[in-house]
Amino acid sequence: MRTLNFATLATLATLAFVAATPSLAAETTAKPERQSWSFAGPFGTYDRGQLQRGFKVYREVCSVCHGLKLVAFRSLAEPGGPGFTAAQAKTVAGEFRINDGPNDRGEMFERPGRLSDYIPSPDANEQAARAIYNGALPPDLSVIAKARSYEVGFPGFILDAFKQYQESGVDFVYAYITGYENPPAGVSLPPTQYWNRVFPGHRTAMRPPLQKDQVEYSDGTPQTIEQYSRDVAAFLMWAAEPHLEARKRIGFQVMIFLVVFAGLLYFTKKKIWSKVEGHA
């Protein structure tokens, strides 16, 4: 058997890379565009109206397939949240059915949700979900706005560190919902897949979830796909980081304390060492 030398292997590898370059270029995933969010920056806060609209979109559209198993109903009425009253959050919880038990006869049963319950998955288990969606598993959305992101590259990630930009995940969620397109010429998709310009590999099992005027807004906000996407993305950001406002407020207070403390240490040092320097 002939042994290939290093030069031959290098040539073959180069030819393979060149041959693969067109397909790699075709599969290049577009990066989500940066969006303007009210909660961005060190002093950002959530827009209560936007969070309530986003929850409405989630409830009427997204909850058919996706759960929020880490979000308790009581958090809808807690400080830093969407701003629902305790009575409103209790009403929302009561509209969900929660599996509970066993009862005195050892049987499982369903009951209305309580404030202490967590927003359930629409499916009984993972296997049931995969059976419904042709093997695909709709992810839980509790932390999707923090779990999903995209590579910024150099030197972008350094600039983001200085700007304290932490919204790449919610940018991705918005871009994904609004990123459905017809596949390129020559690309055929099975009936269970859709083409998305920002999703890795472009092929996604989730059909376009939103349509114009699909969800009714009572505050006069435009009922467009872009607005629905922005609102539900902001809500999912809150679901992933419900204490964002408190974290930023405490961080700012700590920075003020550290500045004052450093100043006190400096002047204390100057006062103490001035006596030593005076006797030198």
Q: Give the pLDDT confidence of 207-230 residue by residue, as tens digits.
A: 999 999 999 999 999 999 999 999
What is the predicted pLDDT for the residue at 19?
Answer: 39
State the CB neighbour count (10 A cutoff) for residue 104: 6
Q: Which candidate, 21, 2, 61, 35, places its Cα nearest to that of 226?
A: 35
State the average pLDDT over residues 155-184.
85
Summarize pLDDT for 133-159 with one digit per residue, the tens.
888 899 999 999 998 877 776 676 676
> Given the structure tokens 């499916």, which residue do they identify?
123
- The SS3 of residue 152 is coil
Q: What angle do CA 179, 182, 186 make, to 5 degrees?
A: 135
d(CA 146, CA 262): 34
d(CA 194, CA 250): 43
What is the predicted pLDDT for the residue at 231?
Answer: 98
d(CA 87, CA 66): 25
Domains of the chain: 27-41+140-257 (1.10.760.10)
Summarize pLDDT for 90-119 with one digit per residue, the tens.
999 999 999 998 888 888 889 999 999 999
- The SS3 of residue 12 is helix
Residues 6+ apart with CB under 8 A from 277: none
> Which tokens is 248 given?
């930023």
> Given the structure tokens 């995209």, which residue do they identify?
150
DSSP summary character for residue 41: S
Residue 164 has pLDDT above 80, yes or no: no
CB 49, CB 219: distance < 8 Å: yes
What is the predicted pLDDT for the residue at 42?
Answer: 87
Q: What angle do CA 155, 158, 163 make, to 5 degrees?
A: 125
